Structure 1
Amino acid sequence: MYHPDIADIEPIVRAAGEAIMAIYRHGFTVEYKSDDSPLTKADQCAHKVIVQALEKLTPTLPVLSEESGPDVMAARHQWSHYWLVDPLDGTKEFVSRNGEFTVNIALIEHGRSVWGIVYAPVLDKLWYGGKAQGAWRIVDGQREMIQVRPHLPGTAWRVVGSRSHLSSETRDFLVPLGDIEWLSMGSSLKFCVIAEGEAELYPRLAPTCEWDTAAAQAVLEGAGGRVTQLDGTPLTYNKPDILNPWFIASAES
């Protein structure tokens, strides 16, 4: 069983971030996939950097990326252990140039995300960890352990939500909570804000794919939080459909 070392994985996400930022600074064109989601050269360059590095680091572990071809997508159901990658999570945020996009790498074992790393190139902030290891944040070269702060009764709920995908179902879900402090944010940063204690709840009642959530779920669980489907069961991976069900990420253990 492979145990990730931050010293091995951090250079990979930073290299992907550098490839993304080179394109971010100098302009780019936007294409659209069959599902109308945007695609840029930055997505493809980061994919290449990450996949080549992971294949060299762990030759026996397969890699599934959002930009992988249909042959890899078809093969994934045979895997018990693999890397799950979103080379540029938040392409809409990349296109709008608000800086709220990330590089995500997760290690999946038997359908669970056991370790993940999230890197925000514009912010130059990095989060990593897993349920069995704890969670950390690296800023300005300084590493510190992070932990969730659950909701205190009698105070407003600190809720983080999507900048690009706020659904009517999410609005309806929030009504019974009463007093809310709302924070809009793109990409997997929403999980990380909860993991470092700056928010308590992220309800996602809108579509996501497995690569959108895996790395940040591991970080949040490492910080003491949880990510569950609406029925309370854990959000899992390598499902028959790459789409996730609706879920709730929270600071509650």
Structure 2
Amino acid sequence: MSQSDYREDLDTAVAAARAAGDVVMQYFKAGYDVRDKGGIEGEENPVTSADLASNAVLKERLLGAFPGDGWLSEETADSTDRLERRRVWVVDPIDGTKEFILGIPQFSVSVGLVEEGRAVLGVIVNPALGETICGGIGLPPRRNGEIVGPTDTSDLARAVCLASRTECEKGWFDRYTREGLFARVVPIGSVAYKLALIAAGRGDLSFSLTGKNEWDLAGGAGILAGAGITLVDRDGEAIRFNRPSTETHGYLTANARLMPPLLDLIARERADWRRVQSQG
């Protein structure tokens, strides 16, 4: 499709995500209720009244503008109806709820549009930093209105990796800098925000081998598509969206030059992990 084919969709998504971000910040400053949704063994899975309010704004704005589209949100009960739709909005009203609760400005509102299983555009709003990153097929990434793009770093040893804040706290990324595999690892909460920053050239690569959900990835995947960057799972397979199960096998992304060596590195990492598991 041409640039104009997705322009109306992107403009609507940007307005919706910013409106939701404004609502999120009202709660951020004034207080909110928190409960644990459960569903993640051994970890808290919090949801706040801010998540639910953001979800309501996004759904009203996006489905109000495009009533024939499907809907998938972390904070809406899933329906198989979406599987019959060619276009589906995949959203996370607050990606990085733990960071939101802790007051760390690394949470975001994530909106992605999926067509026939492929993310075609995305908007990530970090309302605490006043940052909007958006883009899509035929629409190069923009950060607060300015056209941006990925880095051209070609050596993993010089690369900046944007990694999960939680996984960094567990020490899972320590060896990558200790052994000189990456130049630097930067911990960031929201998955969607990390992907947007890669598309905007604020980091070289990002990955997680732990399971994710479609709403974590769709918005960022749409922006990456506009930057000409691929998003794959830990097996190196392209991530498809609007599937019966929303779970994905982790994710990997990097600029075009770094993607081949990153895939090779992760293949070795997974082989080592399997060997340890079989010996244990």
Contact 2:95 2:108 in 1 (8 A): yes
- Give the 3-state SS of the residue equivalent to 1:117 in structure 2: strand
1:221 is displaced (CA, Å) by: 2.4
**What pairs with 1:1-253 in structure 2 (closer than 5 Å)?**
3-5=6-8, 6-35=10-39, 36-70=44-78, 72=79, 74-138=80-144, 143-153=145-155, 156-166=158-168, 178-187=181-190, 188-252=192-256
* 1:103-158 deviation line (CA, Å, top 9, x unaligned): 111110111101111111011110111133221111xxxx2111111323385221
Distance in 2 of aligned mates of 1:88 and 1:243: 18
* 1:210-252 deviation line (CA, Å, top 9, x unaligned): 0011011111221232211233321111223211112211112
Identity of aligned residues (%): 27
- Check 1:156–1:61 CA distance in 2 against 1; reply closer, same or farther (3 A cut): same
1:192 is displaced (CA, Å) by: 1.9
Contact 2:204 2:254 in 1 (8 A): yes
1:94 is displaced (CA, Å) by: 0.4
- Check 1:154–1:119 CA distance in 2 against 1; reply closer, same or farther (3 A cut): closer
Distance in 1 of aligned mates of 2:167 and 2:197: 18
Gaps of 5+ in 1: none
Contact 1:131 1:218 in 2 (8 A): yes
Name the count of aligned residue pairs.
247
Amino acid corresponding to residue 195 of structure 2 in structure 1: F
Distance in 2 of aligned mates of 1:144 and 1:34: 40
Distance in 2 of aligned mates of 1:3 and 1:154: 34
Amino acid corresponding to residue 206 of structure 1 in structure 2: T
1:54 is displaced (CA, Å) by: 1.1
Contact 1:205 1:247 in 2 (8 A): yes
Bigger mean CA offset, 117-126 vs 180-189:
180-189
Give the match for residue 268 of structure 2: none
| Bigger helix share | 2
Q: Please tell me the root mean square deviation across aligned C-alpha atoms, in Å.
A: 2.3
Bigger mean CA offset, 39-48 vs 8-17:
8-17
1:18 is displaced (CA, Å) by: 1.3
Contact 2:156 2:181 in 1 (8 A): no
Bigger mean CA offset, 92-101 vs 178-187:
178-187
- Give the 3-state SS of the residue equivalent to 2:57 in structure 1: helix
Contact 1:228 1:247 in 2 (8 A): yes
Amino acid corresponding to residue 29 of structure 1 in structure 2: D
1:10 is displaced (CA, Å) by: 2.2
Contact 2:119 2:225 in 1 (8 A): no
Distance in 2 of aligned mates of 1:209 and 1:176: 31
Gaps of 5+ in 2: 258-280
1:78 is displaced (CA, Å) by: 2.3
1:161 is displaced (CA, Å) by: 0.2
Distance in 2 of aligned mates of 1:154 and 1:24: 37
Contact 1:170 1:203 in 2 (8 A): no
- Give the 3-state SS of the residue equivalent to 1:147 in structure 2: coil
Amino acid corresponding to residue 186 of structure 1 in structure 2: G
